[in-house]
Structure 1
């Protein structure tokens, strides 16, 4: 299928050639995309679409929780925030309340923005080391 669809081929190549940090950033962005889709579906009255989008967002949050390295103290705090974001998604889905989706989205956005900065700092260090060689 990817051979006939240039966009699918591009997506597949993006995932296969990305660093672990870039993959995590993709997860954050995907989660935010699905939360926004759920809000649109809720606004449009499409409950099935809203539910599917929230399930996808929750699957991403679950994956982020599973991949935490709990040997670092900060991971425990991150886990608590992921669990809270997940509970907001569940409650928002049950109550049809986009404000709860916004709460989850703001937490994920903070993680995403911080992660983006980490990637940029690492790249700057990497290129600085290349220039020294």
Structure 2
């Protein structure tokens, strides 16, 4: 029980001290976690757990939409992709369809991996601009 409490405190501190870029990465990872749990629930024929986890994934995508900066043209394209993924998750939920979940998982994984690369590039730029090379 004590370890669980320590882990929860660690997770909370991770979120509170994360940069906006790291928070976005956490959202992508959380979305993937919930999709995996929904896939498992479909295999186990646990409709309630499937629904809960798909809904959590949809909520994360809605949060990602709310963080888009429309000063950049790419944001409109990302909005369309997020909306598409949400609609596919709704369909997967209705149809208990693991293949649709797999499709969304692959899209989110691609977004997440790209975002990781952006964070690394930005850290290197920041490191170099601070004369720490």
CA shift, 1:103, in A, is: 1.1
TM-score by length of 1: 0.94
Question: Aligned equivalents of 2:132 and 2:24: distance in 1?
Answer: 29
* Alignment correspondent of 1:112: 112
Runs of 4+ deviating beyond 6 Å:
none
* Alignment correspondent of 2:18: 18
TM-score by length of 2: 0.94
Structure 1 residue runs of 5 or longer lacking an equivalent are none
* Alignment correspondent of 1:131: 131
Matches within 5 A, 1:56-75: 56-75=56-75
Q: Which moved more, 1:27-36 or 1:64-73?
A: 64-73
* Alignment correspondent of 2:92: 92
On the 8 A contact 1:61/1:86 being kept in 2, the answer is yes
Structure 2 residue runs of 5 or longer lacking an equivalent are none
CA shift, 1:127, in A, is: 1.5
Question: Aligned equivalents of 1:124 and 1:108: distance in 2?
Answer: 24
* Alignment correspondent of 2:79: 79
Question: Aligned equivalents of 1:131 and 1:38: distance in 2?
Answer: 47
Query: RMSD of the alignment, in Å?
Result: 1.5
Could you list the per-position Cα deviations for residues 39-70 of structure 1 after superposition, in whole angstroms to 9, with x for gaps in the alignment?
A: 00000010000000001000000000111111
Query: How many aligned residue pairs are there?
Result: 131
Question: Aligned equivalents of 1:85 and 1:5: distance in 2?
Answer: 34
* Alignment correspondent of 1:53: 53
* Alignment correspondent of 1:101: 101
Question: Aligned equivalents of 2:9 and 2:53: distance in 1?
Answer: 23
On the 8 A contact 1:85/1:105 being kept in 2, the answer is no
